[in-house]
Chain A
């Protein structure tokens, strides 16, 4: 008993002594933030998450650091999943990185709160002329200041299991665009008996619906007023019909994430699979051997093969002490060869035309790239990006309402009402 007690005392004493040994301030992350000897260190919070893109980003940063010994860039890894919350706390806590990677639909609210530096002047003319005015519109705040450089664009594409198509005796569609009507009948054709033609991970449906709706002229917003009419509801209605009328779309997949559904595409359970084009990278990485796939022509609604452009963005924090240097890094980042490398890592489409041409040249003949780049031609600015309360509306109203509608729990009229009333209640 006695030895046991003293052992306990020793344990407590040890516990007490340990932190004293460890209490260097740096261990706790306090201090150590100064510039050493005129050298500037910029922090760049990147959201790249696929191994190929992380490597490409690192290479760009390394190249910059080598060329600019006085302005060093330190790469910090962030994550798409919590970027919004993280930026709120970082801005509020004064710990935001100098250079911020995000996407247009998410970042514009921060611009209105004054957290982002105006880059109209600091960005070079080369950068500005490389991107179309339409795309610049997605990163321009209500006071006319440019708060980010648009980098890569995403579109939604239809992936097809070519062997499954062959087995079903259905020909792969060709041409510049795939009309929604044709897409729907295609899904029934390849479904076969009792099977599904299509898997679509729409656990987070809002972005996909908003982007694709532009193909039907579904703009949702006009300034700060919402308008949900037939055009806006066309895409959700068609998805709903495929799941509950034709039975060609697996309703369970609608409640799952894109990567949850992917294995079903690999297994042949779903001959077609709709996702963001970046999924192509995952397909090349993890598809089973001998799996043959293709990207179908871009989906077209009544307004053509148009989708909303929601570019990834590079911004500079307003509180950064080195806005000029940060903008110079963004210029460097925007150079065609760098954008092309990043785009290929993520299978995304560069917003800069020079970079897009470079990608087309470098990927000529690769499976899928032609169709993906083609889908980029139809990307244009949509009003929802500049609606300030969009992120909150998306979380609190649009996503739940769309989820319920796609789970066949509410009617399309209820969906329309929830979307409209929700926006109006946010004031």
Chain B
């Protein structure tokens, strides 16, 4: 801090002190990040190549690619990976479409807009655990309002929404969409508001229909933000844990077993730390590869 307190140095000296000042200012953030996130990450990746497991004084040995060979034949893991992909893509896409619709509405001069906007933000402020509990109550087969509403409409009403393997995943996806709408809506709304009004007006004068204007003017202007938010949503959804952990804990019959839950169980139920870390590594590599492809495709179509 003393370096900062010194009077503003003459221009010539500025460059070298600047570097030093920058380091001094960044260091308090850098040190804990190195210790508690870079180091664990590197260690975690490394653990994926060992046989680390629970046990008093259990020895940990480097075992090369053994974990990956075992993983390749682990049907349950790939099944869970598939569930993870279905979950992440469904939630991201539905969330995007629902949020885009809402953001477009919120961007219009409608009455009660403030209320809708506030409501759209609320799930953000709720812990995922609470969201899960709330939906458990909603979907309770005996007392939940969902079944009760169906009953009053004379429809089948003894459905155990979270307990039947055929429908549990779609139901959980709906809850995921509900929980994740705020971020996406607000970001898209912010994007819409930054689309220059002149563009739309010019198109309107040319006689373009609302739909055409949306398709040819608004959407292209929104593209960078759409790319950013769908990418982030996809990552967040793929890695999400708390919501489904509390909602179904992966059941019934493993039909909602997201890969993060699967790996958690492998590590903290069955004590196979090395194997679980290997699952983490596989998840990173596959998701990373997908993201690179996706972002590159987006970049290319933007350039063309």
Interaction A to B: yes
Whether B163 lies near A255 (C-beta < 8 A) is yes
Contacting A400 at CB < 8 Å: which of B55, B74, B253, B271?
Answer: B253
A318 within 8 A of B: yes
Contacts of A392 in B (CB 8 A): 269-270
Tell whether, in the assembled complex, residue A318 and residue B56 are in contact, meaning their CB atoms are under 8 Å apart. Answer: yes
Whether, in the assembled complex, A84 has its beta carbon less than 8 Å from a beta carbon of chain B, the answer is yes
A selection of 12 A-B contacts at a CB cut-off of 8 Å is A88-B269, A88-B271, A91-B54, A113-B271, A114-B55, A203-B251, A256-B163, A395-B265, A399-B251, A400-B251, A407-B165, A407-B252
**Is B57 at the interface (CB under 8 A from chain A)?**
yes
Given the known interface contacts A260-B142, A263-B142, A407-B164, the answer about A113 and B56 at a Cβ–Cβ threshold of 8 Å is yes
How far is the CB of A388 from the nearest CB of chain B, in Å? 11
> In the complex, what distance in Å separates the CA atom of A74 from the CA atom of B54?
27
Give the chain A neighbours of B164 by CB distance below 8 A.
Answer: 255, 407
Given the known inter-chain contacts A318-B56, A399-B253, A407-B164, please indicate yes or no for A256 contacting B270, CB distance below 8 A. no
CB <8 Å contact, B269 and A252: no
Q: Given known contacts A91-B56, A114-B57, is B269 in contact with A395 (CB within 8 Å)?
A: yes
8 Å CB contacts to B: which residues of A380-427? 391-392, 395-396, 399-401, 403-404, 407, 409, 425
Indicate if B160 sits at the interface (CB-CB under 8 A): yes
Is residue A121 contacting chain B, with contact meaning CB distance below 8 A? no
Question: A256 to B270, alpha carbons, bound, how many Å?
Answer: 26
Residue contact B269 to A404, C-beta cutoff 8 Å: no
Identify the A interface with B (CB < 8 A): 84-85, 88-89, 91-92, 113-115, 203, 252, 255-256, 260, 263-264, 318-319, 391-392, 395-396, 399-401, 403-404, 407, 409, 425
Within 8 A of A (CB), among B32-89: 54-58, 74-76
Which of B54, B142, B254 is in CB contact (< 8 Å) with A113?
Answer: B54
A255 close to B252 (CB less than 8 A) = yes
Interface residue B280 (Cβ < 8 Å from any Cβ of A): no
Residues of chain A contacted by B159 (CB below 8 angstroms): 252
Task: Give the interface residue-count category, chain B.
Answer: 20 to 34
Tell me if B's interface is mostly helix, strand, loop or mixed. loop
Contact A400 B254 (CB under 8 A): yes
A396 to B77, CA, bound (A): 10
Complex CA–CA separation, A108 to B54 (angstroms): 14
- Contacts A92-B271, A391-B269, A395-B265 given: A115-B56 contact, CB under 8 Å? yes
B231-270 vs A, CB cutoff 8 Å, 1 = contact: the mask equals 0000000000000000000011110000000000100111
A114 & B269 in contact (Cβ 8 Å cutoff): no
Q: Nearest 4 A-B pairs (CB), nearest first?
A: A400-B253, A255-B163, A114-B56, A113-B55
Q: Does B158 reach chain A (CB closer than 8 Å)?
A: yes
Q: Give me the interface of B with A, judged by CB distance under 8 Å.
A: 54-58, 74-76, 140-142, 158-160, 163-166, 251-254, 265, 268-271
CA distance A263 to B254 in the complex (A): 27
Give the CA-CA distance A355 to B268 in the complex, in Å: 36
Cα distance A399–B265 in the bound complex, in angstroms: 15
- CB neighbours (8 Å) of B265 from chain A are 395
- Residue in chain A with minimal CB distance to B159: A252
Contact A403 B141 (CB under 8 A): no
Most chain-A CB neighbours within 10 Å: which of B76, B142, B158, B271? B271
A84 touches B55 (CB 8 A): no
Q: Return the chain A residue nearest B55 by Cβ.
A: A113
Return the chain B residue nearest A410 by Cβ: B253
Contacts of B271 in A (CB 8 A): 88, 92, 113
Establish whether residues A396 and B76, one from each chain, have CB atoms under 8 Å apart when the complex forms. yes
Measured between beta carbons, the chain B residues less than 8 angstroms from A409 are 165-166
Bound complex: CA A223 to CA B160 (Å):
38
Chain A nearest Cβ from B70, distance in angstroms: 9
The answer for the CA separation of A255 and B251 in the assembled complex, in Å, is: 11
> When the two chains form their complex, are residues B56 and A403 in contact, meaning their CB atoms are under 8 A apart?
no
Partner of B158, one of A85, A203, A252, A403: A252
Let me know if A92 and B269 touch, CB within 8 A. no
* Residues of chain B contacted by A115 (CB below 8 angstroms): 55-56
Please give the distance in Å from A267's CB to the nearest CB on chain B: 10
Q: Are A256 and B54 in contact (CB under 8 A)?
A: no
* A85 and B252 form a contact (CB under 8 A): no
By a CB distance below 8 angstroms, the chain B residues around A260 are 140-142
The reply to whether B165 and A403 contact each other, CB–CB distance below 8 Å, is yes
A267 vs B90: C-alpha distance in the bound complex, in angstroms? 40
- B91 → A minimal CB distance (Å): 23
Give the residues in chain B near A319, CB-CB below 8 Å: 56
Q: How far is the CB of A75 from chain B (nearest CB, A)?
A: 25
Distance of A265 from chain B, by nearest CB (Å): 12
A256 touches B57 (CB 8 A): no
Instruction: Say how far A282's CB is from chain B's closest CB, in angstroms.
Output: 16
User: Are the CB atoms of A113 and B269 closer together than 8 Å?
Assistant: no
Query: Smallest distance from the beta carbon of B243 to chain A beta carbons, Å?
Result: 17
The minimal Cβ–Cβ distance linking A410 to chain B, given in whole angstroms, is: 10
Which chain A residues border B268 with CB–CB below 8 Å? 85, 88-89
Complex Cα gap A285–B48 (Å): 50
Smallest CB separation, B80 vs chain A (Å): 10
Q: Are A203 and B163 in contact (CB under 8 A)?
A: yes
Q: Distance (Å) between the CB of B4 and the closest chain A CB?
A: 19
Known: A392-B270, A404-B165. Is A88-B54 also a contact (CB below 8 A)? yes
List chain B residues, Cβ under 8 A from A203: 163, 251-252
User: Closest CB-CB distance, A167 to chain B, in whole Å?
Assistant: 23
Q: Give the distance to chain A from B52, nearest Cβ to Cβ, in Å.
A: 10
Cα–Cα, bound, A91→B164 (Å): 35
Residues of B near A88 (CB, < 8 A) are: 54, 268-269, 271
What residue of chain B has the Cβ atom nearest to residue A396's Cβ? B76
Nearest opposing residue in chain B for A397, CB measure: B76
Separation of A92 and B142 alpha carbons in the complex (Å): 40
Given known pairs A88-B269, A255-B164, A263-B142, the reply for A403 and B54 (CB within 8 Å) is no
Name A405's closest neighbour in chain B (CB-CB). B253
Residue from the set B54, B74, B158, B165 with the largest chain A CB neighbour count within 10 Å:
B54
**B contact residues around A91 at 8 Å (CB):** 54, 56
CA distance A234 to B269 in the complex (A): 30
- B252:A403 contact, CB within 8 angstroms: yes
* Cα–Cα distance between A86 and B252 once the two chains are bound (Å): 22
Closest residue of B by beta carbon distance from A113? B55
CB distance from A253 to the nearest CB of B (A): 9
A255 to B139, CA, bound (A): 14
Q: Which residues of B contact A391 (CB under 8 A)?
A: 269-270
**Given A203-B163, A391-B269, A407-B164: A396 touches B254 (CB 8 Å cut-off):** yes
